[in-house]
């Protein structure tokens, strides 16, 4: 409890003393309750953080960014680039701008309230609305895990499948083996959290770095037209040559949006910042701003760096597909076909690097998807749910799809469209909560932030409505 002899401040994390202990924000009646103690004096750096603390606050946004470079992105970006060249690069730019805003708001909600987005929904909305939001969130989580698990299995299959097929394994048997390997690998990655949340974050960041290096290598090989790429990144265009091409470009654009702005990590990011709330009180007091303000500014840097890194990787995927496939007149509508095509076009190393990137993407994003699923079910229903049980439950749909031999790429792209339709169910509650002074107090969103947020929702709803009309009436 707070010292009763101390004057109440507008920000409970701000204290004239230097070290305080923060009560667990999820369990405490007041999430910002603190106990004052004596501070050690340290030389402040950026926003009051000590120089040796700077890198320790990187992590949450990088974990969230994995969802922006998951196997669903591979599927939509490869098809988009091979069909339409550089034309849809603008979708990634504007999706990334929305992602930066949305992920920061999610982190801000978690930092200010000490509760995750699902917990805030349960606290501030009626039970029927909460249940509806939970169902939508679960649909998004299942679609996400489906895409990511299939991607990891495909990565294993591309790397080791040929050898297994040569030894008499069937394709279905090989894919099921790859799925089993993916499950074991994800369990091992999740187990790292037992050693501390930063160990898991570091491994995820390594995966992101490997994916980035892989696509840097691919782009180096293809020698893109940077002027044309920059033009299409800045100028929105769609394929208007025929009703069919227009319909397909809208479908892929919405899929890219669903693959880039992911609903499950909107819920997750508000949880990823919670462990550091217990540490943020070690930050020296900075005159004129609260500790939460300092932490929020630093988290903004984390979000900006991580999301732009994901944007560059996504753009590299389209650029590679546009040059390697579209320039050669090949429309690639299959991740495995992309792997097979890259070898003859760019050499065996390019195909192997592609498979390694897909595997890293699938393993890391599947891990993040399981974490998000746990945050969703625990937050909305106020229950404890073992994360390893969550992993077991969510692999069932993917195993069924592999066993009956459905086309993985079509499932990947369809899952991204489903995610795009699920986005408003995460975005609208996030905006409503961050716009409420009763929830955010002095940290309520500024008018320009509110406008940008609602514009983002309007764009997503408009694209979804257009896609629904296209699907209903055949374009």
What are residue 35's phi and psi, to 5 degrees? -120, 125
* Burial status of residue 27 (CB atoms within 10 A of its CB: 0-12, 13-18, 19 or more): exposed
- Higher-pLDDT residue of 464 and 275 is 275
Question: 49-473 adopts what CATH topology?
Answer: Amino acid/polyamine transporter I (1.20.1740)
Cβ pair 111, 283 in contact under 8 A: no
Nearest to 60 by CA among 315, 375, 424, 316: 375
Cβ pair 363, 152 in contact under 8 A: yes
The rounded distance, in Å, linking the Cα atoms of 437 and 167 is: 64
| Bridge partners (DSSP) listed for residue 367 | none
When the pLDDT of each residue in the chain is averaged and rounded to a whole number, the result is 78
pLDDT in tens, 328-372: 666 776 677 788 778 777 778 888 898 899 899 888 888 888 888
pLDDT in tens, 33-81: 333 332 333 334 444 445 555 666 778 899 999 888 888 788 788 888 8
205: CB partners within 8 A, 6+ apart: 58, 59, 62, 63
Residue 431 has which token pair? 């905006």
SS3 at position 362: helix
Q: How many helices (H) and strands (E) does the chain have?
A: 19, 2
pLDDT in tens, 90-117: 999 998 998 899 999 999 999 999 899 9
- What's 81-144 look like in SS3? HHHHCCCCHHHHHHHHHHHHHHHHHHHHHHHHHCCCHHHHHHHHCCHHHHHHHHHHHHHHHHHH
Name the one residue in this structure whose structure tokens are 């944007």.
311
Name the one residue in this structure whose structure tokens are 């390893």.
388
The rounded distance, in Å, linking the Cα atoms of 426 and 265 is: 10
pLDDT band at 280 (very low <50, low <70, confident <90, very high): low
pLDDT in tens, 2-14: 443 333 333 433 3
Q: What percentage of the chain has pLDDT greater than the value 90? A: 26
The rounded distance, in Å, linking the Cα atoms of 243 and 116 is: 44
pLDDT of res. 53: 59
Cβ pair 90, 231 in contact under 8 A: no
Cβ pair 76, 416 in contact under 8 A: yes
Residue-range domain boundaries for the chain? 49-473
| Bridge partners (DSSP) listed for residue 44 | 50
CA dihedral for 151, 156, 162, 165, sign (positive or negative): negative
pLDDT of res. 329: 67
DSSP class per residue in 249-297: HHHHHHHHHHHHS-HHHHHHHHHHTHHHHTTGGGSPPBTTB-HHHHHHH
| pTM, full prediction | 0.81
pLDDT of 419 > 80? The answer is: no
């Amino acid at each position: 409890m707070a010292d009763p002899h101390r004057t109440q401040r507008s920000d409970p994390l701000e204290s004239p003393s230097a070290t305080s202990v923060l009560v667990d924000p999820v369990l405490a009646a007041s999430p910002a309750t603190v106990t004052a103690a004596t501070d050690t004096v340290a030389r402040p750096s950026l926003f009051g953080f000590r120089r040796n603390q700077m890198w320790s606050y990187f992590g949450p946004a990088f974990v969230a960014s994995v969802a922006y470079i998951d196997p669903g992105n591979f599927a939509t970006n490869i098809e988009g680039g091979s069909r339409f060249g550089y034309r849809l690069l603008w979708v990634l730019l504007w999706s990334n701008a929305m992602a930066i805003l949305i992920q920061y708001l999610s982190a801000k909600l978690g930092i200010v309230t000490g509760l995750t987005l699902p917990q805030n929904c349960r606290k501030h909305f009626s039970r029927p609305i909460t249940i509806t939001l939970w169902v939508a969130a679960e649909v998004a989580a299942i679609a996400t895990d489906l895409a990511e698990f299939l991607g990891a299995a495909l990565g294993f299959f591309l790397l080791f499948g040929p050898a297994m097929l040569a030894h008499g394994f069937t394709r279905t048997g090989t894919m099921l083996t790859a799925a089993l390997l993916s499950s074991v690998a994800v369990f091992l990655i999740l187990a790292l959290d037992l050693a501390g949340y930063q160990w898991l974050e570091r491994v995820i960041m390594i995966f992101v770095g490997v994916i980035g290096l892989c696509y840097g290598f691919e782009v180096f090989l293809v020698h893109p037209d940077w002027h044309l790429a920059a033009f299409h990144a800045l100028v929105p265009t769609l394929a208007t040559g025929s009703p069919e091409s227009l319909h397909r470009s809208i479908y892929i654009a919405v899929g890219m949006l669903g693959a880039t702005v992911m609903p499950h990590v909107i819920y997750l990011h508000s949880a990823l910042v919670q462990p550091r709330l217990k540490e943020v009180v070690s930050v020296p007091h900075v005159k004129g701003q609260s500790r939460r303000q300092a932490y929020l500014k630093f988290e903004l840097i984390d979000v900006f760096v991580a999301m732009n890194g994901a944007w560059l990787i996504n753009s590299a995927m389209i650029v590679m597909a546009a040059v390697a496939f579209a320039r050669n007149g090949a429309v690639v509508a299959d991740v495995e076909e992309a792997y097979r095509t890259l070898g003859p076009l760019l050499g065996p190393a390019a195909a192997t690097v592609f498979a390694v990137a897909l595997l890293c993407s699938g393993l890391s994003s599947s891990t993040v998807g399981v974490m998000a699923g746990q945050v969703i079910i625990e937050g909305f229903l106020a229950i404890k749910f073992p994360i390893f049980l969550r992993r077991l439950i969510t692999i069932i749909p993917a195993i069924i799809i592999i066993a009956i031999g459905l086309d993985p790429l079509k499932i990947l792209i369809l899952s991204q469209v489903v995610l795009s339709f699920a986005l408003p169910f995460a975005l609208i509650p996030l905006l409503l909560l961050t716009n409420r002074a009763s929830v955010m107090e002095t940290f309520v969103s500024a008018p320009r932030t509110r406008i940008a947020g609602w514009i983002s929702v309007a764009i997503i709803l408009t694209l979804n409505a257009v896609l629904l009309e296209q699907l209903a009436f055949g374009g």
